[in-house]
Amino acid sequence: MYDAATVRQAYREQKAAFRGLGPVRISYAMKACPLLGVAALLASARADASVVSLGELLAAKRAGFAPSRMQLHGNAKTDEELRGALRAGIGRVVIDGAEEVDRLAALIRRGGTVSVWLRVSPGIDVDTHTYLRTGTLDSKFGASISTGDALDQARRISRTRGLRLIGIHAHLGTQLHEAERYRELGAALATLARDVREATGVTVREVAVGGGLGIRLRADDRVLDVRAYAEAVTAPIRAETTVERATVYCEPGRALVGRAAVALYRVVATKRVPGVRTFVSVDGGMGDNIRPALYDARYDAVVAERAGATGGEVAVAGKYCESGDILIREVRLPDPVPGETIAIPASGAYSVAMASNYNHHTRPAVVLIDRGRARLIRRRESHADIWRLERR
């Protein structure tokens, strides 16, 4: 269940955080929640869209984003995806890999040009789950700055007909809360922009700093103030004369939709293991939110019918046939009984997007609350939906 007002407020906070820090564009990372009903809220607010596949591009277009205000990312874009992006009139293609330079150039019609960013790896480690780090040297994403690959690829792009290098891009990871790491990122990109100018004569006009700002999943989580983040990442860029007037692109996903949704589960059963743990089993789990199993994400929960009540420590267990299907390993709840509702806040990012039909369970319905009215923005799946592409 998503709340439209929370999404709109989060976008306004992102815009306000960068006020007075030079030209900035906020680009919604569609992968966080590609639901049309949610993405349309940000399209109507005039955000850009950051997409990582042809499917996300088409979803963003259906939600109301203009293709000219989209950026296509991805370390393994197929020719089909690149063709689709070019046909749609994509605003920016983010080149991620030397081989992509020639492949993209070959697909451009004679006499045409496409604006591109170069994705780079700044070699900055961050304090988050290993799977959520994307800016280190040991990453599948981006050309390394330290090895010289980034500058070599910038030279190659600048010499390639049909490609117009206008920006550089990097992303450190997600659920980040250290201002100093963002300051390092801004400095690395500013220095690279200066080196690109000296080596190729190309002036970098757009600097994309990714997203990844952490949000509060539990009441006691430590998070970085949005303004402090904005100041940290832009200060080194504005201090470098080569890019002081460049447009900075920020690409939040979780920060815009993460806290806008509450996941609702029905209690099915309780298992008590004296001296070990009490398991409260619910009618969902890793099929609708794999993040606890995949990234060790830690959420809070309440019994919706008794939201103010306290109780003992329990684990909220999912129904999927995996020992790792534990939505919350430790949370204090009043003794839940079958039929009651457990609500898990801050479930808006990557839960719906990464949902699956594992064990042939159907994916849940999604509701949007907007100005006091509730409407269905995705119906509950049926088993017929699961089988519709299968043949015997």
Instruction: Reply yes or no on whether the pLDDT at 16 is more than 50.
Output: yes
Residue 138: pLDDT band (50, 70, 90) is low
Instruction: Reply yes or no on whether the pLDDT at 357 is more than 90.
Output: yes
229 CB-near residues (< 8 Å, 6+ apart):
17, 179, 182, 213
> Which position among 98, 321, 337, 376 bears the catalytic label?
321
Nearest to 303 by CA among 337, 277, 278, 272: 337
Q: What's the pTM value of the predicted model, to 2 decimals? A: 0.94
For the record, the structure tokens of 172 come out as 């450190």
Instruction: Reply yes or no on whether the pLDDT at 97 is more than 80.
Output: yes
Instruction: Reply yes or no on whether the pLDDT at 131 is more than 60.
Output: no
- Tell me what pLDDT residue 137 has: 66
Mean of the per-residue pLDDT values of the chain: 93
- Tell me what pLDDT residue 222 has: 86
Angstrom distance (rounded) from CA 126 to CA 332: 30
- Tell me what pLDDT residue 136 has: 58
The answer to whether residue 33 is catalytic is no
Q: What domains are there in the chain, each with its CATH number?
A: 2-258 (3.20.20.10), 263-344+349-379 (2.40.37.10)
Angstrom distance (rounded) from CA 297 to CA 155: 41
For the record, the structure tokens of 266 come out as 């029905």
- Tell me what pLDDT residue 308 has: 82
3-state secondary structure 14-29: HHHHCCCCCCEEEEEE
**Identity at 304, one-letter amino acid code:** A
Backbone torsions φ then ψ of 176, nearest 5 degrees: -95, 150
Cβ-contact 33, 348 below 8 angstroms: yes
Instruction: Reply yes or no on whether the pLDDT at 298 is more than 60.
Output: yes
Residue 133: pLDDT band (50, 70, 90) is very low
